[in-house]
Amino acid sequence: MNQAKYFIGTYLDPLTFLTEVNLENPKSAHKIIRTVAVNSDYRIHITAMGGLFLPIPDDLLGRRENDLGHLNLDYLNLQLDFEHNSCRLLNRLICELTLNGLISEAATPSRLCVGEIHNGHVSILYPSVSFKPSYNLAPFDSSRKNEEDELMWTSLNSSIEIIYKVANLDLATKLESVSLSLPAFIVTAYSSFSRYHLDTSLLNSWIACEQLIAHEWRKYRDEIENKNRLNRLKDTRTYTAAIQTEILLTAGIFSEDLADRLHKARKSRNDLAHNAENDYPSTKNAMEALRELLTWFLHEDISDYEVPSSPLWFFEKPLLNI
């Protein structure tokens, strides 16, 4: 693809520096530190400040009008399709980061911003509607200095190591073979859990689990030669996710521990959907079911993620006298 003039992208959220940044030179936060190919057409540029940007085709830039001087809706739809496809590509990378331990919110159209690249640095032209990180680094403490007495800020995460581990996006690419939307559901499940948005996490984790169960069910079903039986097994009203899980357990495809977690996660999802009931242990079990299912499906150890504890319970004396 030819060098593009403009780029569309988002930032990891929570905002994460992926390498050391010199605060006396704020531009260092926008330096491109890694480029990852997401398919044969697009590469995502990753900045030190956790920016993820991919090129906008020249033929999709700007506003176009029809012969009557009205907005060309066909052209607008092409632009909107590109936005959604960009989010899918960005979420493929964010999913790979998530499975390696770097949690972030999913990319959505409202979180996209537009920039251009000069001398290996991204310059933001149009910030996103819903997520506006401080591009000038003003909120961050600049009191820390390195051995050379230069102002620096270092991420609390060893994130740069993860960035170099995800070069081929092997895990997310395999998940997209199940469903193009699967990486985004996984990202949302993990990011919601990390922020204690339990209901959102439970729903997204179960949706991801059910997509993987259905994928394995289709593989199992398609090996059956008896046409009449095959047609019966295609009836999802009879062969629900619960029945599919039991048959996959009986066939030796799922372990008893995994099947048990999946059944509990499904019940928790039903309790939330029908009775508006949910709690931390139920969501934690659903997340663990997802992690175990991903580990089994991908043949890789997937990072676990615990909700951070409140700092309120670690003080010997009350902070406030009321």
Q: How many domains does the chain have?
A: 2
Whether the predicted pLDDT of 195 surpasses 50: yes
Domain end residue (candidates: 131, 149, 168): 168
Q: Which residue is listed with tokens 């956790």? A: 50
Decide: 43 and 36 in contact? Cβ < 8 Å: yes
Q: Within a domain: residue 82? A: yes
Q: Is residue 318 part of a domain?
A: no
16 within domain boundaries: yes
AA identity, residue 168: N
**Nearest to 39, CA basis, from 3, 6, 86:** 86
DSSP-derived secondary structure for 237-289: TTS-HHHHHHHHHHTTSS-HHHHHHHHHHHHHHHHHHHH----HHHHHHHHHH
Q: Are residues 131 and 222 in the same domain?
A: no
Say which range, 108-117, 233-242, 313-322, has the weakest mean pLDDT: 313-322
Within this chain, do residues 209 and 244 fall inside the same structural domain, yes or no?
yes
For residue 305, tell me if it sits in a domain: no
Task: Specify if 117 maps to a domain.
Answer: yes
- 27 and 159 housed in the same domain: yes
Distance CA 246, CA 251 (A): 9
Give the C-alpha separation, 251 to 245, whole Å.
Answer: 10
Q: Is the pLDDT at 47 greater than 80, yes or no?
A: yes
What angle, rounded to 10 degrees, do the helices at 280-298 and 256-275 form?
A: 140
For 138-192, the pLDDT digits (tens) are 333 334 444 443 434 434 445 677 888 888 899 999 999 999 999 999 999 999 9
pLDDT 10s digits, 240-260? 999 999 999 999 999 999 999
**H-type alpha helices, 72-152:** 73-99
Same domain, 78 and 111: yes
Quote the pLDDT of residue 313.
Answer: 52
Task: Report the distance separating Cα 173 and Cα 170, nearest Å.
Answer: 5
Co-location of 13 and 150 in the same domain: yes
Tell whether 158 and 196 lie within a shared domain.
no
Does residue 16 share a domain with residue 158? yes
Task: Provide the pLDDT for residue 257.
Answer: 95
The CA–CA distances, whole Å, from 235 to 110, 127, 239, 244, 315 equal 38, 47, 6, 11, 57
Structural domain contains residue 263: yes
- Per the domain annotation, does 276 fall within a domain? yes
Residue 307, pLDDT > 70, answer: no
In a domain, 319, yes or no: no
Residues 153 and 12 in one domain: yes
Instruction: State whether 115 and 246 are in the same domain.
Output: no
Final residue belonging to a domain, choices 145, 168, 191: 168
Query: Are 249 and 193 contained in the same domain?
Result: yes
CATH of the domain at 259: 1.20.120.330
Owner of token pair 């400040």: 49
Q: What is the pTM of this model?
A: 0.85
- 132 pLDDT exceeds 80? no
Domain of 247, in residue numbers: 178-298
Average pLDDT over residues 93-117: 93
Give the phi and the psi of residue 70 in degrees, each rounded to 5.
-95, 160
Percent of the chain residues topping a pLDDT of 90: 59
Residue that the structure tokens 């990072």 belong to: 303
Radius of gyration of the chain (CA): 23
* Confidence (pLDDT) at 64: 76
Q: What is the pLDDT of residues 228-244, one digit of tens each?
A: 998 898 888 899 999 99
pLDDT confidence of residue 97: 93
Integer Cα distance of 167 and 11 in angstroms: 18
Alpha helices in the chain (DSSP H): 73-99, 159-165, 170-176, 182-194, 198-222, 227-233, 241-250, 256-275, 280-298
Same domain, 56 and 112: yes
- The more confident residue out of 46 and 309 is 46
Q: Which of 31, 26, 21, 25 is nearest to 154 (CA)?
A: 21
Pick from 30, 211, 186, 195: which is nearest to 97 by CA? 186
Q: Specify the DSSP element, H or E, that contains 3.
A: none
Out of 146, 168, 190, a domain closes at 168
Based on the domain organization, do 124 and 186 belong to the same domain? Answer: no
Give burial (CB, 10 Å; 0-12/13-18/19+) of 312.
exposed
Alpha carbon distance, N-terminus to C-terminus of the chain = 63
